[in-house]
Amino acid sequence: MEIIIKENGQVASEAAARIVVRLVKEKPNAVIGLATGSTPLMLYREMIRLHKEEGLDFSQVTTFNLDEYIGLPPEHEQSYRRFMNENLFKHINIKMENTHVPDGMAEDVPASCAAYEQAIIDAGGIDLQVLGIGSDGHVGFNEPTSSFASRTRIKTLTRETVADNARFFDDDESMVPHHCVTMGIGTIMDARMNIMLAFGERKADAIADTVEGPIASIMPASILQYHPAAKLFIDEAAASKLKLASYYRWVYDGKPKWQKDA
Ligand code: PGA
């Protein structure tokens, strides 16, 4: 795992955006996995800026989002489809038909999950997956003790995640769906590269356990230690509990620019 510690989330997001730029320039029809939540917003704003000001071209890009709440229609204010449309897709030149978010309203959930997995395969697999991390260590909505071999499926959120996400539902936990469809950890591990973003003190324990703890399903993100190309872009607060933080800084500072953006 490569740990990139920046002074704040904005600078970390700009560094992560350079990875996206390089990929899209090298492979205009790249397949990108996307995440929701507050964490990737700065990355998405930077991608929009790069499109508007520097002409970054998303016209051939395909995207697959990690997850969606069960029971929220796409037009619901808190659905992840709506989140993606509002915070990214509407502002870049991506073709809407090339954007995919799991279907939270599917009548046959297992069939719709299998179709999602197949669509990823048909698109050639995910080149770059963007990840956040829950305060409980979840990736996508793969909560603690999720199987490392899991594929896209229905999951039940933890109480902690429901409480964390109540802020998007007028602070009313009873409004937060308890079920979701999420790519599995196996799906995420198949991505050719994973980039995880984490900002703020609230993520410090999960980041320390992910990077320096044992690989265990109680901390789902720890599986990234097994991924051949995983990069973590974090701010000082999220890095505050890492034992080897000064080593990670030293490694990154010593890299040539071409390698930093690769
Ligand atoms: P957040 O959520 O970005 O809103 O903190 C991250 C996550 O739950 O994966």
Q: Is the dihedral of CA 221, 159, 67, 133 positive or negative?
A: negative
- Interval between CA 35 and ligand 1 midpoint (Å): 9
Q: Judge whether 143 counts as a catalytic residue.
A: yes
Distance CA(238)–CA(11), nearest Å, equals: 14
- Interval between CA 260 and ligand 1 midpoint (Å): 25
pLDDT for 241 equals 98
Residue among 34, 66, 68, 133 whose CB has most ligand 1 atoms within 8 A, to mutate: 133
Instruction: Flag whether pLDDT at 17 surpasses 90.
Output: yes
pLDDT for 261 equals 76
CB 233 within 8 A of CB 12: yes
- Interval between CA 165 and ligand 1 midpoint (Å): 8
Segment 169-190 mean pLDDT: 96
- Which CA distances in Å does 221 have to 128, 137, 144, 225? 16, 6, 9, 8
For residue 188, give every residue at least 6 positions away whose Cβ sits within 8 Å of its Cβ, in sequence order, or none: 33, 66, 129, 131, 139, 140, 142, 194
Chain position carrying tokens 């999950």: 113
pLDDT for 10 equals 98
Q: pLDDT confidence of 122, banded at 50, 70, 90?
A: very high
For residue 227, give every residue at least 6 positions away whose Cβ sits within 8 Å of its Cβ, in sequence order, or none: 1, 189, 194
- Interval between CA 37 and ligand 1 midpoint (Å): 5
Listed by start position, the domains of the chain span 2-253
CATH architecture of the domain with residue range 2-253:
3-Layer(aba) Sandwich (3.40)
Sequence-separated contacts (24+) of 244-252 with Cβ below 8 Å: 244/212, 245/3, 245/5, 248/3, 248/4, 248/5, 249/5, 251/2, 251/3, 252/2, 252/3, 252/4, 252/5
Is 110 exposed, middle or buried (CB count within 10 Å of its CB: 0-12, 13-18, 19+)? exposed
Segment 83-110 mean pLDDT: 97
Which residues approach ligand 1 with their CB closer than 6 A? 37-39, 132-134, 138
pLDDT for 258 equals 82
Q: Judge whether 205 counts as a catalytic residue.
A: no
Q: pLDDT confidence of 56, banded at 50, 70, 90?
A: very high
- The pLDDT mean for the chain works out to 96
How much is the pTM? 0.96
The minimum-distance atom of ligand 1 relative to the CA of 200 is 5
Per-position DSSP letters for 101-151, written without gaps between them: ---TT-SSHHHHHHHHHHHHHHTT--SEEEE---TT--BTTB-TT--TT--
Segment 133-141 mean pLDDT: 95
Q: Judge whether 127 counts as a catalytic residue.
A: no
- Range scoring the smallest mean pLDDT among 30-39, 59-68, 167-176: 167-176
CB 168 within 8 A of CB 78: yes
Distance CA(97)–CA(103), nearest Å, equals: 14
Distance CA(195)–CA(201), nearest Å, equals: 19
